[in-house]
Structure 1
């Protein structure tokens, strides 16, 4: 079952964000606090949205966290999926596909024309899963990122 996240899900979302960061070998970079997630998802002006995947007992086993982007070429919003995570013991149970299906349903219902995300190039199980759904890599684009000192220097 997939449902919209609620305020009471913040602790489990925070836990799973940290589990995902550990899986991606970047736990030291996962500095978001529960309070930051609470503000981003449920503050006065939410910047992001989340869904929870539950198992048959109602236990949260995965989540998606996403926000709106905008395509100047298409002239409409899309969804950028920041995180998709299913706990290891629940993988293979259809939760990841259900989370992506819900986001695709939102896109179709709202007239959004893109659902995009990034995946680490070494994460072959996820790449195979995404491609099995019809997703294709955008090999002609490279992701760039400014953080920490470089961002501070440029913004000073």
Structure 2
């Protein structure tokens, strides 16, 4: 079962974010805390949204996403920040169900893109996404400013 997250899900979402960071071999980079997640997902002006995958009433996965905008298409899309299914539940269709729900939201709301990034070494996920019809955007390279570089650039303003 896939359902929209509620504020009661903050602890489990936080735990799964930590699990995802461990899986991606960067546990120290997951610094968000529960109050930050609560504000981002359920504050006065939510910046992100989440869905929970349940199996027999227990949370086994989540998708955390936000809206982006295509200047070329003139409409919103969904950017999937995190998709995670706990190891013991993988292969049970939960990841596909989460993506299906996000695709349904896109179609229902007239959004024309559902996008996400995947680590180059994550072959099981790449194979899974390609089996669903997703295609890598190989001509694009992701850039990111964080920490000291972000602070330094921002200080120039």
TM-score for the superposition, normalised by structure 1: 0.99
Match of 2:37 in 1: 37
Give deviations 1:57-85, integer Å, cap 9, x for gaps: 20000000000000000000000000000
Give deviations 1:12-71, integer Å, cap 9, x for gaps: 00000000000000110000000000000000000000000000x200000000000000
Aligned mates of 2:28, 2:40 — CA distance in 1: 21
How big is the shift at 1:108?
Answer: 0.1
Unaligned runs of 5+ in 2: none
Unaligned runs of 5+ in 1: none
Match of 2:152 in 1: 153
Matched, 1:9 2:9: yes
Alignment of 1:61-140 (within 5 A): 61-140=60-139
TM-score for the superposition, normalised by structure 2: 0.98
Q: Secondary structure at the match of 2:140?
A: coil
Aligned mates of 1:8, 1:119 — CA distance in 2: 28
Q: Which runs of 4+ in 1 moved over 3 A?
A: none
Aligned mates of 1:26, 1:119 — CA distance in 2: 14
Aligned mates of 1:137, 1:114 — CA distance in 2: 13
How big is the shift at 1:87?
Answer: 0.0
Q: Secondary structure at the match of 1:108?
A: helix
Match of 1:18 in 2: 18
How many pairs are equivalent?
Answer: 155
How big is the shift at 1:153?
Answer: 0.1
* Aligned alpha-carbon RMSD (Å): 0.2
